[in-house]
Structure 1
Amino acid sequence: MNARLAIATVVAFFLAALHSTLALKGSLSLDSITFDKVVPHFKATLVKFDIQYPYGEKHDEYGVVATDLKNTKDLLVAEVGVQDYGDHENQDLADRYGVKKDDFPVVKLFLANDLQNPLTFPSNEDFKADKIKQFVKRNTGIRILLDKCLQEYDELAEAFMSRDLSKENREKFLKLAQEKAANLKEDEKKSAEVYIKVMQKVIERGDKFVESEQERVKNIIAGKVSDTKKSEMQARLNILQSFLKTESASSEKQEL
């Protein structure tokens, strides 16, 4: 009996150490009790439902999200580990939100004004950090800086796309963006040039240009292109996201 107890103790310490090792920086581990105490206090909460001790590429990508969003106000990045043996810890949470083991990992976005109906990160999307951050940015209106984006230019893009802005005022924002580019570092100038070109095209063709260009870039990324070209197009897609108006929550909901 003592031998069994000793083995059980060693296993418990091993699992605790493993969990500590795999815990993601910037992500909070939630359970059936803490979930309802914590989530309502944030404007938005991103939660990954997964096995109790997750690992692998997708877990690493979520770790990048947690790190990148660690200083984002009003947004919590969290995880729920679901146990499929023993006490089946947190299985009740998975059942509450229709999360099935075969679909792990499942990422859901909880909005403060509708916690009972979270949005689900599309299963047909690549499980990549930038894709997940786009998903959050698109559905929350929370300012998130995506790869190759510039905070000052993101703010300009948001103001530029205001519904009540006249063509004359948009041209003023365009001029301001061009002037600011002169003082940027070389790599930042490349990003600024994309913002500027998008502004020019919107003035020429109207707001619909942003969505049509987004679709065009997505098609290029989905095609047979080099990794370099794909990276370049992803950066463009990230910048285009700064020009898109926040979508209504209902547009992203999925039936499980």
Structure 2
Amino acid sequence: MHYVLLPFIICAFLKYIDCKGCVQLDTYSFDKITSKFEASLIKFDTAYPYGAKHDAFEAVCEAAYSSPDLLVGEVQVKDYGEKDNEELAKRYGVIKDNYPTVKLFTKNGPVTFVTNDDKDFTSDNLKKFIRSKSQVYIGLPGCLEDFDKIATEFIKTKNIDEKKSLLKKAENLWDKAKGNRENKSAETYVKIMRKILEKGPEFITNESVRVENVLKGKINKEKQTEMQERVNILQSFSIHDEL
């Protein structure tokens, strides 16, 4: 019986220690490795973590593979034996009762990811946290990096001619979009920019409220995904100071 169960036990164990794209850090490697990156998103957690929060963090690890300036790592803290990494956790004010604790380390120092509810500990919110607290780009579902850069410039400038020039730039990029998904996202950016020119910057607030209300209603999964991606793109036209 033990031989039958052993493969399942091993698979479960590997599930706990495996975190795709996640760098395992300890007291000796932490400073040496994090100092090489523009930003480092680090999760302090128990040894062999699992659960919804770990899954959300793992999703960010996978999404960060294309961001060379971003390190996503994990510090597993043991409260038994030699108590590995316990001193490192204490150094940053992390205690066992608050595991998992996620911090973003930049040249300005560490900032803690804070949520009002466990349900807010999501991969999308972690991505928003990275984008709001650093200069590192990591895309939200539906967002496109080149268009996000244009959106930031577009919303910052008050010069109408500059806005029109940026709109033209976005329209040209739209023509080069590949695949239905990218084409749909590009179209959304362009249409939002046109609406802002027509109705003013308040369009962003009004449209965000409208879409959020749609999301609160009874809609199918496909429509929910479409609306959430629209929310993400609308957020690209805002400057976030915090989550």
Per the normalisation by structure 1, the TM-score is 0.76
Task: Note if 1:107 corresponds to 2:102.
Answer: yes
Give the CA deviation at 1:156: 2.1
CA distance in 2, matches of 1:123, 1:108: 16
Instruction: Give the equivalent residue in structure 2 for 1:24.
Output: 19
Aligned AA for 2:83? H
CA contact (8 A) 2:39 2:70 kept: yes
CA distance in 2, matches of 1:199, 1:61: 32
Instruction: Give the equivalent residue in structure 2 for 1:171.
Output: 164
CA contact (8 A) 1:134 1:238 kept: no
Instruction: Give the equivalent residue in structure 2 for 1:129.
Output: 123
CA contact (8 A) 1:49 1:79 kept: yes
Give the CA deviation at 1:219: 5.3
Q: Provide Cα deviations, 1:112-162, integer angstroms capped at 9, x if missing partner.
A: 2224xx232424362222221121112212122222222332232233233
SS in 2 for 1:244: coil
Instruction: Give the equivalent residue in structure 1 for 2:183.
Output: 189
Cα distance 1:213–1:136, how it changes in 2: closer, same or farther (>3 A)? farther
CA distance in 2, matches of 1:212, 1:88: 52
Instruction: Give the equivalent residue in structure 1 for 2:135.
Output: 141
Alignment root-mean-square deviation, CA: 2.8
Structure 1: 5+ residue stretches without partners: 1-13
Instruction: Give the equivalent residue in structure 2 for 1:4.
Output: none
CA distance in 1, matches of 2:209, 2:85: 39
Q: Provide Cα deviations, 1:39-77, integer angstroms capped at 9, x if missing partner.
A: 233221101111110122322222121111023122110
Task: Note if 1:97 corresponds to 2:102.
Answer: no
SS in 1 for 2:67: coil
CA distance in 1, matches of 2:176, 2:60: 30
Cα distance 1:215–1:50, how it changes in 2: closer, same or farther (>3 A)? farther
CA contact (8 A) 2:41 2:73 kept: yes
Write the mapping of 1:230-241 to structure 2, written as runs, cut at 5 A. 230-241=224-235
SS in 1 for 2:102: strand
Instruction: Give the equivalent residue in structure 2 for 1:202.
Output: 196
Instruction: Give the equivalent residue in structure 2 for 1:154.
Output: 148
Aligned AA for 2:233? I
Task: Note if 1:76 corresponds to 2:74.
Answer: no
Give the CA deviation at 1:21: 6.3
Task: Note if 1:53 corresponds to 2:48.
Answer: yes
Instruction: Give the equivalent residue in structure 2 for 1:5.
Output: none
CA distance in 2, matches of 1:93, 1:225: 46
Structure 2: 5+ residue stretches without partners: 1-8
CA distance in 2, matches of 1:103, 1:212: 37
Instruction: Give the equivalent residue in structure 1 for 2:113.
Output: 120
Q: Tell me the matched-pair count.
A: 231
Per the normalisation by structure 2, the TM-score is 0.80
Aligned AA for 1:34? S
Identity, in percent, stands at: 39
Aligned AA for 2:170? A
CA distance in 2, matches of 1:91, 1:218: 42
Write the mapping of 1:236-251 to structure 2, written as runs, cut at 5 A. 236-245=230-239, 247=241, 251=242
